[in-house]
Structure 1
Amino acid sequence: MAQLQVRVRGEVLRVLTLSRQLSIGRTPDNGLPLRDPSVAIRHAEITAEVGALLLTDLTGGEGVTFVNGHRLSPNQPHRLEQGDEIQIGPFTLAFLADPSVTAEAARPAGRVDVQGELAARPARPPLPTFTAERPPHDGLALYTEFLPPFFQESEFLGRYLKIFEAMWEPLQRRQDSIELHFDPRVAPPQVLGWMAGWLGLPLDPHWPEGRQRAWMREAVTLYRWRGTRYGLSRALETVYGLTPVLREDTAQPHTLTVQLLDSPDGEDTASREAITQFIFTHAPAHVRVTVEFVEAPATAAPADPGLQPVEAPDTGPRA
């Protein structure tokens, strides 16, 4: 039976046995979750046809999927052959139609479950926002074109119609592209807070504009994962550009340690108190959370002096 070997930087993470259908994406509800910001929520899909397995890119051009170094066209099935290597973000998926590996790679033994890899990413610059064009102030009004030729020659009538044109033309042009005003990627900055009120989202005005737009775009999807480890990790990546390492020790149930790099200098800089409060808000409600900050570029173990823990007050479960 065909298998799929998942590797990152040459290290084998797991080996999957392929069945009739396998979805590949960033969120845990996929058959193969690949937790990296460069992976789309629904990135690709492998389906079984008569005597073949087909790989289809589902990103619609917003993401990138390579097979043996060649980029796949969106929504165009590609037949997989023995030894094909699929590149999705930092992951390499090796297709083994006649595998020598017969079992999934075993998870390392131990009592501590560790998830994630420390990273800090700068915010992407926001796209140019949409602004309705205003009619030119020089010359006669455009509305004179709708009048009989005799009235088009009147200079006074042209100036008079210019008053109404200045009021109605921006509204008309905005109406022609109204969908751009409700797209968080390109909506005017003044509209972001209004849209956040619709969804009941906390939108901190101190966040850089790029972070605010990314948060608005991801928020509805993240509502499904609020209170989970994936939801917490993705929220931190979206708002602060920080990928955490999450640790759970079975010897201490209902505890979670969140390890983070300090925010880099620049417009993305956020105080530790703000990041800690954000974590407490989005962490699972039934656990006690400890936040540890590591001085970049250090990646030392928790016992390192560079770690500075901040513990949540023991006030019982949070609603």
Structure 2
Amino acid sequence: MTGHDGWLVEQLPRVMATDPVLRDFVTAFEQTHDTVRERIDAIEFQMDTGLASPDMLAYLGSWLGVMLEPTDPAEYRRSLVREVGKLLGWRGTRYGVEALLQAATGARVTVIDAGGIFGSNDQVPAPDPVVVVQMDHTGHLTEKQVMAFLQSELPLGAKIQLDVRFQPQPARGRARPPGSGDDNA
């Protein structure tokens, strides 16, 4: 913002400033400039995942290849976009897959594969396309969603072995949550 209305009109030569048509024409440019300037000044806040509007956050996520669910908590969506942005250069690597899955599920994740860096004099192991992914739990994601994520992040042809340590268990017994309608216990 420049501070006050008429700032551009004030810069016109005195003779031109007295012409009402020219004055209105320049005022239109002034208003356009002020609107564009306000949007430019606010762009840094829209690019900050902690401050971005929900629509802008969804746009940033899609730009990074992450489709956000509007039903997920706002802080989870913000955290996920932030982590994906940080890990962009690590995508497809063991570290990147572990960190992204940890951000998406809140679980401890370990990826085991036969990849590595080998020098010219090092013994290179036989190729093994199996990638083992060990997780404590899948968080709010299903195993199918985790597998879809892994297929998109791991190299083509990798065989994925998903090992989830703690599976969600269906409720057993007579206990019911409060307010479920069965208060005869």
TM-score by length of 2: 0.54
AA of the residue aligned to 2:151? F
CA contact (8 A) 1:192 1:213 kept: yes
In the alignment, what sits opposite 2:133?
A: 258
Does residue 285 in structure 1 map to residue 159 in structure 2?
no
What does residue range 115-130 of structure 1 map to in structure 2 within 5 Å? none
1:210 aligned to which of 75, 79, 93 = 75
AA of the residue aligned to 1:256? V
1:222 aligned to which of 63, 77, 87 = 87
Shift of 1:234: 1.0
Percentage of identical aligned residues: 22
1:269 aligned to which of 140, 153, 159 = 140
What does residue range 136-285 of structure 1 map to in structure 2 within 5 Å? 175=39, 177-197=42-62, 199-205=63-69, 206-248=71-113, 253-263=128-138, 269-285=140-156
The structure carrying a bigger helix percent of its residues is: 2
Local SS of the residue matching 2:112? strand
Distance 2:43 2:126 in 1: 55
CA contact (8 A) 1:212 1:239 kept: no
Look at both structures and tell me which one has the larger radius of gyration over its CA atoms.
Answer: 2
Shift of 1:229: 0.4
Shift of 1:192: 1.2
AA of the residue aligned to 2:110? V
Worse-matched range after superposition: 205-214 or 234-243: 205-214
CA contact (8 A) 2:110 2:135 kept: yes
Distance 2:127 2:133 in 1: 15
In the alignment, what sits opposite 2:166?
A: 295
Q: 1:182 to 1:252 in 2, by over 3 A?
A: closer
Shift of 1:260: 1.0
Local SS of the residue matching 2:140? coil
CA contact (8 A) 2:97 2:111 kept: no
Shift of 1:200: 4.6
CA contact (8 A) 1:203 1:212 kept: no
The structure carrying a bigger strand percent of its residues is: 1
CA contact (8 A) 1:211 1:240 kept: no
- Structure 1 portions without partners, runs of 5+: 1-142, 144-167, 297-319
Shift of 1:174: 5.9
Shift of 1:196: 3.0
Aligned CA-pair RMSD: 3.3
Distance 2:165 2:148 in 1: 17
**What number of residue pairs does the alignment pair up?**
125
Distance 2:145 2:73 in 1: 14
- Structure 2 portions without partners, runs of 5+: 6-31, 115-124, 168-185
